[in-house]
Structure 1
């Protein structure tokens, strides 16, 4: 039979498919619907005990032709024998050949009697040919149809077309059983909500369910990517590794790759149909800020049902239904009867992981179910089980471990070693790279004899204790997956002596895996792999100096790679362990404190980092180490904290102390001395002492060029600061010339996406903006901010600096809506990061007051400008350039709300103070004088106003040029305003 009788008109086709083949059913349905036919889905899942012929006969109740999607899964569900199928096909299908049709999506040989269905083979052909064969088999006309672009984008992908990107998915479990309703529910909820979390107690098969979903429905996606989400560092690394697979143009930094991936997924470019699976996200708050959004699907496994707080659909994964338990046991142990499988499932409480492990062992051991149940009843093992695990685990695992000790002691040794890594993905290749001399003989034989290794890991795999994972193979060793429940039980089932011995082996392996180069981005993947295992290998309490070096290297890596939160958590675990250790060297604790303070500072925890830095300074002084370089480093760190907290005078004093100390001990040419001198200039700049900062930065730049070279990254850093000083002094053209050349060097030396390059481009944009080159400045502002958000994140201090500048530029040149949105965001973040009275918060508010004035909200603008002036004056004093700038803005708003006398008084005082603070010809002073002339005209004091204006315009023409926009604006009597610009601290 080649096809059903030719049919015309609209048909109703019933598609009978195993859940395993849902992707094929969806594609077939899509093609039939496109040709105008109606489709009814019928998932084939006959229960054990149901007659196969009756299940097939039930299909005849549906109208129209019935299409069977034949696969291994379709034939085996039940499970069913070939004899059963032969009988049912003869009895039901043969008499109704006009109603049944079939397509084959398997390369396996079907039962002989399946020929009665004459299935069309859809394997090994493309989508066009498969559609032709499908329609021909159903006797339907293959009339060409036009498809809209939107329809083509939303249509199901052809199942034989593999996803364009596929990574990290566990190998398909050939023994996966049941869960059909759950899989269908996941599919439907992902279509509806986009984000689904599978949660449940350990051992119920959340990971297996997610893996089966990926394999079963993966053909419907262009991208399927699996990420271990148990730790923030591994999640960040796994997601970042998607960047090159998406062919995204990024640098080497993980932070940049991560944000590029999130942008790509959010916008659906280059692929809108993506599936991201986050496995083991048991602490969702740690990764909540990294979760991608967009048109794709997010499937999460977690023991933590609180994931609902992050807009996820929750789906509980329960233990098996009894018929599923029986089916799994009989697939794992075919020799068991249905009644024996039922008894075993009852005792093991229908827990999938335990059923799989124990049924596998029973099948291989020859032990009867009765004998096994007797073992369970008689076992008096001390194996302890955490309260969250079913009690059946204690006795069942006791029996299995005892048998493994007898039959395969190497397997037990390997399993115990694995428990001193974090649960989940265990990098056993790290163990195998450890030299044999450092290991006890039995373990050395295990790791160095491929046959012993293969036998041990195969034994564990056979009993579903571990699962080999992509990235390694069973022979050479790579990665294995160890379930959290197994991890805890095996780890608890050891004496203290054994625990210390195995933990020591893993520590030595981690030490050997340390590249020793935390600043080298090429080494970062190695550190990302090491960090999650530090706690489990008991490294935090080890007294070995090599372990100390490993921990410090990991902290340095976390800081440089932008994983500040994870670094803080690690440091806070290490700190009490090292503090309480008798006889520990002070310099070790001070080194830890240095990294801890850096991480806190990077997180914006300035008060906390100040406390850590100050404690280190005081401890150094108490120990008589105030002349050491460690002390000077602590002093420099404290100065950085105080700069961030706007305690600029104290920061300047400490900056001088650090610089003088390094200069005396190491000389002027030392990189540390040059860095300390650079920080001295930063402190001066924040105090508004721009000329003094310029002199220090000029010397530092000259010395860095001489001692470090013109292309050194620190030399380039000094170029940014010198150009900044020149710009803040009003020497715009000179600053732009220096910064333009420096930007070219930055792009060549450190790359276009490096944070320092972004800082250089931002400074160039400001130089061009102040010089009047608006058209050249505009794209630089936009590109620098966009890349900074991608590389560093939206809350990074540099991102906030760039966002503030972009907002001011947008306000000045017409995009008031963009300016307002950015400005409101900057204010909110500064309030959260620094507090409501910090000068940066006050400065952001004065910028926002100008926006409110621009949209006609005068009273709100006036109130905000006055608040900013008051807060800024309290924070940095009445003579600081920032306070004087706030005063220029406030005086303009006093005029607008009808208080010209107060405006004149404020403008007059501002102009006088600015003359003393920054000089008579500085642009800030001249702006204050132009503002004063405008305020005087409101009071009809024309003679004084004309005189003040003429003097200011003449000075502007001499300093900036007669055609500079500030000069032109003053000549046309436009009221000047001032933009607050946050500075690097």
Structure 2
């Protein structure tokens, strides 16, 4: 490579006769793909002719000096060679050295003088911006491939980064001094199969007026700036154009004068300075704008105007934020200018008004057109001293495909003494920012409350107002425009002003109407309703990329938050060659890939209709946009059904995927909000065809099964009730699918602790299956198993055990000993035998269950772990505490890892381990774990669930063992009261609770109350269990001890002699601490 720097290749002072050069011409080459020597010269040479030296000087009317700028631009030696800012600085430094008139100038003065002295720029197929169908980075990469067949990835990445820097300078280049003209030559011929490398759109600056000539060349990218003869038509065109434009530029430079002098002016419009009555400050965002506008520029960007893009969804408060900045810092500027930028016509209108304002102190143009006005106003900013603020408000159409596209770069002042703020619904405003820009999202809760109360004209001191207002602004998603409109509506509706709680019901019923109201301009300074704003954005998205618009509609049938890309399962083969329904509804009949999906999301993000959540690698939609997207479709006939079905299949496919991958609990829980929202929207899907609806119900039914698998019983019940209601209406009560749905709901009701309701429904299921299918059918036997398990939970142990033995016998005979259903039956019978106190028989059967499940299912299967839990509990009942505790710790670790900390089975395992630790005398550790169990059950299951009450019972027992008798007694009274109310006085768990409370009362010295309660416990156990039952014997022993403590020795009849070991063996049955996991049968059609 030749030596870097500025090399003179022609100087009229050395010609014959010598003439002092009046023009300096500098030629700058492009990328040196092949790392060839003297690339600066070869760029302009064809054959042996360097036209810049051999042809150009004689075509000019003035003496000139021609120079080549040589710099390292070789991608062949690595991406580090591509440093745009560094090369630009080097060029300026060389110009400083070569131009003798400027030798004594300072660095900043040099740069400024060079800019002012530049009169003509000539570009040959130079990519200034993206073309019609490609980004600037894509175009540059295409150029590289013309010289390098297989460029390295690091090179292309670096080129793209440099191209992004070039885009930042493109806007600055559009604001060169008005005396500087531009010629843009662009390709007219294709470069082989690659076509046009840099098309017209990319190769031109589109400067206003006559400042730029755009000329097509009969040449491709490789020959556009090389000529071997003066007779070459292309050479004639280039030389003639340059000569003419040089003359025009120099003539214009002498004659240019502005109609506008840099005199002091007022702000425009004056109304922008007026305060807003209901304005709510957002100081952190406002100060962020200020910090960016005051931030120093890097050395290579000196002389630019600083710009801050402020973007966010419609109604988020962007205009109010800009107004807040203007009013807070207006004293820092000599004048401020507020320009409505929603259309080019509105900008031209405001520019004309500003022009007239500026022209009050100077002669004006006689008949100004928009281009003249624009030139004069921008020229005024370039010459004026002082500090100015220009706000382009509502610049929403920034994408080139927008119907009302506004090329804001033509209007932004480029002067360093001007600050520019751009508010937009388009995130393209971010790329227009000098630094990072400001994203405007929802108001904070306190700000929303303040805004609502100000607009509603209500004082917060009134009782209940603050709490009701918080509910309202939460429903509105803290969206500034929606909050202000709601407040104004309340202020104008007397019945609501005195009863705020009624507003939410009215909003939910009339949401579409209320959001369509046009806001009071005095409240919001806004011309559009919330609905209009979003409809406009949606129309722009659909016009730009229809698939993105339909994607937004699809997303309205899942949850608005945490929309993660894995949900779309694009990398999973579901053994189907058919295009997924969600792809079809988006119009992708050939399918879609991850890159397309990301592209659609980018478009939605550009229009602020969705937001990216960087920390979660997902997207979110504002809750009101989400609701609006659904509302706008409700009048669309079968469109609602199509989109709902597509969303349900999307979720159904994802559930199959995570099941097949055996994903952990976090992954499973992440999809729950999307499932619940989809089910909720299903309730509102109007019926087009009953049989379509039956097909769709299968997905909802599978959602219910999934909910039960992960312990989300309340969610499961919601989906299962929906399935039952629709199947009963369409198929009838006796249809097998209806009975399946009834069975599944009954099992879930049992999980929820609604035992009476569950048992009643299970009896109905059993009766129907016996009548329709017969006693020996596997589905009938499964129904009998489920009913037996519920009877056991109700404390009806003898009836449950009898039924379970029948179930086990039938399953062994019909299905065989190794069938999963047979093993479930054995597990359930073993648990009930343990509840009956038949511990040896129960333990033996549980070991058999565990062995079979380990062999058939593996050690990590949830059913295997449940079997281990049940055996450990029985070992604890037998007093084998060390073995039980060791096994329980293993169970807990596996359940936490596989099912998650919040799963009901995990909490059962924690409960059992805590109880066993207590029995081992590790009371502090046990109490801590029991408190955690109680907190989780109260939060997940509710205070009235039997498992929650069991947890409270266990903690109370441990507190009593620790000697905290008052707290223990209080908690045990609460347990007894709840069990009496929920289970009844005769339930075994109720009697256990009474026994436990009586023992603690005795420990407190309240012997009379304790003795009375113990007599009641003994009477009930004798009547229900019989005199010989270990629990009856234990009750008799407890009463005798208390009577003895009272001094009533004659009354204290001792029970029959029972060994200490036997008493210890049944201790757990008396206190009711340990829990086993029974298995129900749930069914799905598929």
Shorter chain as denominator, the TM-score bin is 0.5 to 0.7
- Matching residue of 1:550: 699
Q: Report if the CA contact (8 A) 2:991-2:1017 is conserved.
A: yes
Measure, in 1, the Cα distance between the counterparts of 2:819 and 2:612.
Answer: 48
1:616 Cα shift? Answer: 1.5
The answer to whether the 8 Å contact 1:807/1:820 transfers is yes
Secondary structure of the 2:818 match is coil
Alpha-carbon offset, residue 328 of structure 1: 0.9
Once the two structures are superposed, residues 108-139 of structure 1 have per-residue CA deviations (whole angstroms, 9 ceiling, x without a partner) of: x999999699xxxxxxxxxxxxxxxxxxxxxx
Shift of 1:677: 0.9
* Structure 1 pair 441–548 and aligned structure 2 pair: CA distance change class (3 A): closer
The structural deviation recorded for 1:322 is 3.3
Q: How far off its partner does 1:526 sit?
A: 3.0
> Any residues of structure 2 matched to 1:189-338 within 5 Å, and which?
197-198=469-470, 207-209=478-480, 303-304=504-505, 322-324=520-522, 327-329=525-527
- Please give the residue correspondences for 1:899-978 in structure 2 after superposition, counting only pairs within 5 Å: 899-902=1048-1051, 904-905=1052-1053, 908=1054, 911-912=1055-1056, 920=1059, 922-924=1061-1063
Cα shift at 1:421: 2.3
Q: Please, which of 587, 593, 606 is the counterpart of residue 444 of structure 1?
A: 587
**Deviation of 1:610 (Å):** 0.9
**Alpha-carbon offset, residue 208 of structure 1:** 0.7
CA RMSD of aligned residues (A): 6.4
Structure 1 residue 651: deviation in Å?
0.7
Number of the residue aligned with 1:592 = 741
Q: Deviation per CA, 1:624-669, whole angstroms, max 9, x where unpaired?
A: 2433332222221111111111111111112112212222233222
- Within the candidate set 655, 668, 679, 2:817 is matched to 668
Task: Give the match for residue 643 of structure 1.
Answer: 792
Residue 19 in structure 1 maps to residue 162 in structure 2: no
Q: Check 1:584–1:417 CA distance in 2 against 1; reply closer, same or farther (3 A cut).
A: farther
User: Residues 736, 746 of structure 1: CA spacing in aligned structure 2 closer, same or farther, 3 A cutoff?
Assistant: same
CA distance in 2, matches of 1:172, 1:760: 41
Match of 1:515 in 2: 656
Q: Give the superposition deviation at 1:850.
A: 2.2
Q: TM-score, normalised by structure 2?
A: 0.48
Q: In structure 2, how many angstroms separate the alpha carbons of the residues matched to 1:720 and 1:627?
A: 31
Tell me the secondary structure at the aligned position of residue 763 of structure 2: helix
- 1:486-516 C-alpha deviation (Å, 9 max, x unpaired): 4575344334x55555555555545444436
Deviation at 1:206, TM superposition (A): 5.6
CA distance in 2, matches of 1:926, 1:456: 66
User: What secondary structure sits across from 2:609 in the alignment?
Assistant: strand
Contact 2:995 2:1017 in 1 (8 A): yes
The 2-side partners of 1:686 and 1:782 are apart by: 25
The answer on whether the counterparts of 1:541 and 1:578 sit within 8 Å (CA) in structure 2 is: no
Would the alpha carbon gap of residues 538 and 727 (structure 1) be closer, same or farther in structure 2, given more than 3 Å must change? same
Do 1:422 and 1:532's aligned partners in 2 also have CA atoms closer than 8 Å? yes
Deviations 1:377-423 (CA, angstroms, capped at 9, x unpaired): xxxxxxxxxxxxxxxxxxxxxxx99x999x89959983995597269
Change (3 A) 1:793 1:182: same
Q: Is the partner of 1:493 in helix, strand or coil?
A: coil
Structure 1 SS opposite 2:745: helix
Aligned to 2:671: 526
CA distance in 2, matches of 1:720, 1:562: 17
Return the offset for 1:609.
1.0
Structure 2 SS opposite 1:515: helix
In structure 1, the partner of 2:451 is 179
Partners of 1:426 and 1:705 in 2: CA distance? 37
Rounded Cα–Cα distance in structure 2 between residues aligned with 1:599 and 1:208: 39
C-alpha displacement of 1:697 = 2.5
C-alpha distance after superposition, 1:535-583 (max 9, x if no partner): 1456996557863442222102222333322322221121021123248
Residues 723-872 of structure 1 mapped to structure 2, 5 A cutoff? 723-729=872-878, 732=879, 734-744=880-890, 746-747=892-893, 750-751=896-897, 753=901, 756=905, 759-760=908-909, 762-767=911-916, 769-770=918-919, 797-872=946-1021
Question: Secondary structure at 2:730's aligned position in 1?
Answer: coil
Change (3 A) 1:978 1:110: farther
Change (3 A) 1:185 1:760: farther
- TM-superposed CA distance for 1:822, in Å, is 3.3
- Contact 2:915/2:926, CA 8 A, preserved across alignment: yes
The change in CA–CA distance for 1:835 and 1:736 in structure 2 (over 3 A counts) is: same
- Evaluate the alpha carbon distance shift between residue 20 and residue 643 of structure 1 in structure 2; reply closer, same or farther with a 3 A threshold: same
Aligned with 2:711: secondary structure? Answer: coil
TM-superposed deviation, 1:825: 3.8
Partner of 2:757: 608
Superposition deviation, residue 843 in structure 1: 1.2
Structure 2 counterpart of 1:493: 635
Whole-Å separation in 2 of the counterparts to 1:356 and 1:588: 46
Task: Give the secondary-structure state (helix, strand or coil) at the position aligned to 1:835.
Answer: coil
Aligned position for 2:557: 421
Kindly name which structure, 1 or 2, has the bigger radius of gyration based on alpha carbons: 2
Specify which of 559, 576, 593 is matched with residue 725 of structure 2.
576
- Measured at CA, do residues 839 and 504 of structure 1 come closer, stay the same or move farther in structure 2, by a change above 3 Å? closer
Change (3 A) 1:420 1:587: farther
Equivalence for 1:353 = 530
Q: Whole-Å Cα distance in 1 between the matches of residues 744 and 596 of structure 2?
A: 43
Q: Distance in 2 between the 1:782 and 1:501 partners?
A: 48
Partner Cα distance (1:414, 1:820) in 2? 61
Instruction: Find the aligned partners of 1:707 and 1:979 in 2 and give their Cα distance.
Output: 35
Q: CA deviation at 1:621?
A: 0.9
Q: Between 637-646 and 477-486, report the one with greater CA deviation.
A: 477-486
Structure 1 unaligned blocks of 5 or more: 1-15, 28-54, 60-65, 88-108, 118-161, 214-299, 308-315, 333-351, 362-399, 929-965, 967-976
Given that 2:857 and 2:864 are in contact with CA atoms closer than 8 Å, whether structure 1 keeps it comes out as yes
Instruction: Give the alignment of 1:703-718 within 5 angstroms.
Output: 703-708=852-857, 713-718=862-867
* Distance (Å, rounded) in 2 between the aligned partners of 1:196 and 1:111: 56
- 1:164-215 Cα shifts (integer Å, max 9, x gaps): xx99965999xx999385499999899x99966445699x9564149999xx
1:414/1:456 contact within 8 Å kept: no
Q: Is the 8 A contact 1:469 1:479 kept in 2?
A: yes
Q: How far apart are residue 801 of structure 1 and its match? A: 3.2
Matches within 5 A, 1:58-69: none
Indicate conservation of the 8 Å contact 2:610/2:622, yes or no.
yes
2 CA distance for matches of 1:776 and 1:177? 45
1:440 CA drift (Å): 10
> Under a length normalisation based on structure 1, what TM-score does the superposition of the two structures give?
0.52
Counterpart in the other structure of 1:468: 610
Separation of aligned partners in 2, 1:835 and 1:633 = 28
Find the aligned partners of 1:305 and 1:661 in 2 and give their Cα distance. Answer: 58
Aligned equivalents of 1:317, 1:632: Cα separation in 2: 56
